[in-house]
Amino acid sequence: MEQQKGPEVGTDLFVFGIFKGSETPGGCFSEMDKAWEGLLSRFIQEEWGPNEKKAEVIHSLGKFPAKRVMLVNAGEKEEFDLVKAREVFGFVTKEALKLKVRKVTYCLDSFNNGEEESVALAHALAEASLLASYRFDTYKTSEEDNPFTVEHVSVCVPEGEEEVKQGLETGQIFGEATCFARDLVNTPGNYLTPSRLAEKAVEIASKHGFEYDILDREQMEELGMGALLAVAQGSDQPPKMIVIKYQGKEKWEDVLAFVGKGLTFDTGGISLKPAKDMHEMKMDMGGAAAVLGAMDIIGRLKPKCNVLAVIPSTENMPSGRALKPGDVITSYAGKTIEVRNTDAEGRLILADGIAYAKTLGADYIVDVATLTGAILVALGEYTTGAVTNDETLMIEVLEAANEAGELVWRLPSFEPYKKMVRSSDVADLNNSPGRLAGSITAGLFLGEFAGDTPWVHLDIAGTAWANRETELNQKGGTGAMVRTLATLAERFAD
């Protein structure tokens, strides 16, 4: 990603945004139109307005160093924001891939409606370019399967705008980290085991000089992490409790903890899932992927805050040793849990993860998990559900999500829902009180282990996986909440 002073530099595709009702784009359009002897502005006036096409590509025929010019419909000027900008930039990227162009240059000012700063637009552009061009082809062996890639993206801006360069660089960091998380989510369960996930975490920690610790089964047994170990007992793969610490302040205080669900494959255990689409349950570690992606961004930007990452990781498998419905287990926090459904395992491993984060000094906790199918019923595939015990932290998370362009909606946490979680006749808690309000009760189950520590739960079961292609996603892992978590950490910086 880079910037250039004017439109005279050669490129394969030069892109202008046109707001609805505008006669011509802004920025460096007049300079290019002059080289074309007014043909571009004439085309817009005579052909563009009446049709209101989404985009139009025009060949330069040697009139300009750019081989093609793309005019893009940016919609209503008053409604154009960073969310819309990412969608437009993502659309352009996918069109560029179809055209098989290797170099794309944007007139960034033509997308500025006067409300958004150039640095934010540059961030959105770099981020969207990477997200839209993402492909997961690790296991394809035919050269024909290798997709075409855009090799170079630049922007045309006035001379001396160093902030734009900063925006491009930061957007690239956010985009690359999100794509890293997508790779983790898309990796098959036979390749991404809990041990391999731990190795990936160590790679991130070593890359940035973070302190880390990986607890194995024996260490967890000594500590009494009975909830995580109960889920893990049905699998031949050893469980891991992954811990990473980033200390951006002189003292280890005001610690923001990210706890990510690291279920590398979920069959449902004895409460076996239906066979249809079970292959997609490799994505059940989407929370862990989000946390690791966010930690990569934090390591590169180095905000002045303290961040703790905790990832409980295992598989959930049926076997002669597996956890059974009706079993009672004891968590790391000492609370007993009646297991009504072994497919409600995410909340079990997260219970130990959240409690362990508190012992490591967490002052604020945000957990991220592909926790419930019920969240898809409630919010569909577009919005992450949230449950909290602290209004102030919830507002911070919502504002971070808004800045990152990710949708989050807060669910209620009234006392009757908490009573459902405590409805067991034989233990302190019931891990599956029933279908009604399933996403709320799952979140509040975790709240029992957060206690008085300010806490927000993010259920990404609907947003971590895309079943169809969009402007910014391919089918598969989305990297949901990577950008929100990283933005939240930046908000915690002094």
Active-site residue set: 273, 347
Rama region for 407: left / alpha / beta (φ>0; ψ in -120 to 50; rest): beta
Q: What does the alpha-carbon distance between residue 408 and residue 282 come to, in Å, rounded to a whole number?
A: 23
Which one, of 448, 427, 441, lies nearest residue 330 by Cα? 427
Q: What does the alpha-carbon distance between residue 366 and residue 222 come to, in Å, rounded to a whole number?
A: 26
Q: What does the alpha-carbon distance between residue 44 and residue 74 come to, in Å, rounded to a whole number?
A: 14
Q: Does the annotation flag 452 for ligand binding? A: no
**For residues 424 and 306, is the Cβ–Cβ distance under 8 A?**
no
Q: What does the alpha-carbon distance between residue 169 and residue 158 come to, in Å, rounded to a whole number?
A: 18
Q: What does the alpha-carbon distance between residue 67 and residue 60 come to, in Å, rounded to a whole number?
A: 5
Q: What does the alpha-carbon distance between residue 122 and residue 170 come to, in Å, rounded to a whole number?
A: 9
Question: Structure tokens of 188?
Answer: 């098959």
Q: Does the annotation flag 284 for ligand binding? A: yes
Which one, of 385, 384, 300, 406, lies nearest residue 82 by Cα? 406
Q: What does the alpha-carbon distance between residue 424 and residue 63 come to, in Å, rounded to a whole number?
A: 76
Q: Does the annotation flag 213 for ligand binding? A: no
Which one, of 23, 41, 113, lies nearest residue 76 by Cα? 113
Amino acid found at 274: P
Q: What does the alpha-carbon distance between residue 262 and residue 242 come to, in Å, rounded to a whole number?
A: 9
Residues in the chain: 494
Q: Does the annotation flag 266 for ligand binding? A: yes
Q: What does the alpha-carbon distance between residue 355 and residue 226 come to, in Å, rounded to a whole number?
A: 12
Provide the 3-class DSSP secondary structure of residue 455. strand
Question: Structure tokens of 163?
Answer: 């902030």
**For residues 204 and 181, is the Cβ–Cβ distance under 8 A?**
no
Question: Structure tokens of 125?
Answer: 């552009």
The residue written with tokens 């949708």 in the block is: 407
Binding site: what residues are annotated?
261, 266, 284, 343, 345
Binding site for Mn(2+): what residues are annotated?
261, 266, 284, 343, 345
